[in-house]
Amino acid sequence: MTFDWNYLLSLLTDADFWWATWTVIKLSLLSWVISIVLGFVLALGKQATHPWLSLPARGYIWLFRSLPLLVLLIFVYNLPQAFPASSALLSDPFWAGLIALVLSETAYIAEIHRGGLLSIHKGQREAARALGLRYAGIQWRVVIPQAIRVALPSLANEYISIVKLSSLVSVISLTEILMVGQRLYSQNFLVMETMAAVAFYYVFIITVFDFLLKRLERWLDVSQRKTARALDPALLALAAQPLPAVTRTAPVSDTPALQAAKLHKAYNNVEVLGAVSLNVKSGEVVSVIGPSGSGKTTLIRLLNGLEQIDNGEIAINGQPFIRLLQQGAQKPRFIEHSEHRLNIGMVFQGFNLFPHLTVMHNLLLAPRYHRLAPVSELRHQACILLQKVGMLEHAYKYPHQLSGGQQQRVAIARALMMRPQIMLFDEPTSALDPEKVNEVLQVIENLAEEGITMIIVTHEMNFAFKVSDRIVFMEKGRVVCDDTPQALRNGDHPRVNAFLKDVDLAPA
């Protein structure tokens, strides 16, 4: 028996096959898109710290990854026998197949999403939180775009699996590609020719969508995007126009801009900060120095609410910002008045710029989220700040296209976009090459001259003694010394003298 090529070619224009192909495309695409959305919610639930969120998510993933799709299809299609009210929907094989596929694929795609979420460095969430974004805003504007980019190859592969799994839907009498083929070869017994046509239609669907998904993957890859090399004259013109000060005006009073009282923090019952108090006046520059492991970074993270205090309280301009609420014998509850978060800007040791956004959009993200001003005004402010830190010509570049010093200068500008009353710097030069340190320190020094209230954790001793009004020396989670740079130069504090014995301080 010879292979009938004419018959095979005739099947490539068969209307029933093309209609069945359209059914498979609709079924697979809908299943994929819905499962991506639901799977992301499920992945977040599985990672939640509350058991009443994580346990149901874990249970769902365990159950529906264990059930064969064929069993699930038959079960869903016959569900009206137990629940007659569902017959209006489930009597249609397409909807029954879609629901079964979504139930099954959501469990698999949730694990793909979880891999994408785990790949996002926690510094991205911390940077967004420091800019005042809430949970939903952090997920939608920072985490999801990056996680989708990481997960897209696996999601594309899962779509191909869904297309092939759609052939099982024929068991509930949905007219898809395989069912059309089975009906034809049961009539003419040309099995090889008919199944070759079936294979063609599946390969066609997968090839087209694989091409489209590869294009999407390439488009989402910011490393493939080209950026303008020349400085945009429009940005230069905006930067030349005056704008009000870049920080919020603190209330005129004797109340300190920031008050921290008896802060305590321990990890795994090991105390890293004990009864630390700190008052910072408006316009004052305070540098925090000390040996590694002395609690400097922990202190600055507590001041911004990135870590929860175990005891103590923090106030901004005399108003409660962070405190513990004790009710009876219950465990103290952490309370944060988030409206004060915008008064504090944070610059991280590791930059924590958002890699999927250009420099300009890094600056605009949080102010647009908070609707601080019209977009045109925010853009004007961003141009002025980028000019101030010497980064205007790089406004349309992505973080990976910048050096470490350039990224840190952008991070400073991003924090200033919120017009904070207080700026916190967590060792802003420790991740930089020595030759890049000075350009960042110069930006911070310029801010100090403008009267911005700053708390700086640093290992740059000459810089600290040059720009600071006060220097706080910490050791073993305690404040050992809190005095002026001149008092420390005069040798009034023996422990500080021992710490600085190998440091060649420049003259005052």
What domains can be seen in the chain, in order of their start residue?
5-220 (1.10.3720.10), 281-297+340-499 (3.40.50.300)
Average pLDDT over residues 178-187: 89
Q: Are 206 and 163 in contact (CB under 8 A)?
A: yes
CA distance linking residue 414 with residue 407, whole number of Å = 10
Side chain identity at 179, as an amino acid letter? Answer: M
Whether residue 228 has pLDDT greater than 70: no
> Which has more confidence, 230 or 232?
232
User: pLDDT tens digits for 337-391?
Assistant: 888 888 999 999 889 999 999 999 999 999 999 999 999 999 999 999 999 898 9
Question: Tell me, what's the pLDDT at 340?
Answer: 87
Q: Which residues pair with 83 in a beta bridge?
A: none
User: pLDDT tens digits for 440-464?
Assistant: 888 898 888 888 899 999 988 888 9
Q: Which residues pair with 273 in a beta bridge?
A: 265
Q: Which residues pair with 313 in a beta bridge?
A: 261
Say which residue the tokens 């540098």 belong to: 287
Range in 209-213, 330-334, 446-450 the model is least confident about: 330-334
CA distance linking residue 456 with residue 440, whole number of Å = 13
Whether residue 507 has pLDDT greater than 90: no
Q: Are 489 and 465 in contact (CB under 8 A)?
A: yes
Whether residue 292 has pLDDT greater than 60: yes
Residue 86 has, within 13 A of its CA and on its CB side, a CA count of 14
Question: Tell me, what's the pLDDT at 189?
Answer: 85
Question: Tell me, what's the pLDDT at 470?
Answer: 93
Q: Are 77 and 157 in contact (CB under 8 A)?
A: no
Average pLDDT over residues 218-228: 77
Question: Tell me, what's the pLDDT at 122?
Answer: 92
Whether residue 482 has pLDDT greater than 80: yes
pLDDT band at 433 (very low <50, low <70, confident <90, very high): confident
What average pLDDT is seen over the chain?
89
Percent of the chain past pLDDT 90, that is, above it, reads 56
Whether residue 132 has pLDDT greater than 80: yes
Average pLDDT over residues 166-173: 90
DSSP symbols for 351-385? ----TTS-HHHHHHHHHHHHT-S-HHHHHHHHHHH
Question: Tell me, what's the pLDDT at 242?
Answer: 72
Question: Tell me, what's the pLDDT at 186?
Answer: 87
Q: Are strands 319-325 and 311-316 parallel, antiparallel or unpaired?
A: antiparallel
Closest by CA to 456, choosing from 15, 446, 467, is 467
DSSP letter, residue 493: -
Strands annotated E in 238-368: 258-267, 270-280, 285-289, 311-316, 319-325, 333-336, 344-347
Question: Tell me, what's the pLDDT at 243?
Answer: 62
| CA distances, 72 to each of 42, 170, 193 (Å) | 19, 13, 31
Question: Tell me, what's the pLDDT at 508?
Answer: 63
Whether residue 328 has pLDDT greater than 70: no
Question: Tell me, what's the pLDDT at 129?
Answer: 93
Closest by CA to 140, choosing from 23, 37, 60, 252, is 37
Q: For the chain, how are helix, strand and coil distributed in percent, rounded to 5? A: 60, 15, 30
Q: Are 295 and 477 in contact (CB under 8 A)?
A: yes
Closest by CA to 457, choosing from 335, 264, 292, is 292
Average pLDDT over residues 260-265: 92
pLDDT band at 491 (very low <50, low <70, confident <90, very high): confident
Please give the helix or strand (H or E) that residue 53 lies within, else none: helix 51-66
pLDDT band at 161 (very low <50, low <70, confident <90, very high): very high
> Which has more confidence, 33 or 4?
33
Contacts of 105 (CB under 8 A, 6+ apart): 31, 32, 35, 39, 158, 162
pLDDT band at 109 (very low <50, low <70, confident <90, very high): very high
Rg (CA), the chain: 30
Say which residue the tokens 């004007």 belong to: 380
Buried b (16+ CB within 10 A) or exposed e, 409-446: bbbbbbbbbbbbbbbbbbbbbeebeeebbebbbebbee
pLDDT band at 105 (very low <50, low <70, confident <90, very high): very high
| CA distances, 206 to each of 13, 28, 153 (Å) | 18, 11, 14
Q: Are strands 285-289 and 270-280 parallel, antiparallel or unpaired?
A: unpaired
CA distance linking residue 362 with residue 378, whole number of Å = 12
Percent of the chain past pLDDT 70, that is, above it, reads 96
Whether residue 65 has pLDDT greater than 90: yes
Question: Tell me, what's the pLDDT at 260?
Answer: 93
Question: Tell me, what's the pLDDT at 250?
Answer: 55
Task: Select, from the ranges 35-39, 89-93, 226-230, the one with the highest average predicted confidence (pLDDT).
Answer: 35-39
Token code pair at residue 8: 């095979």
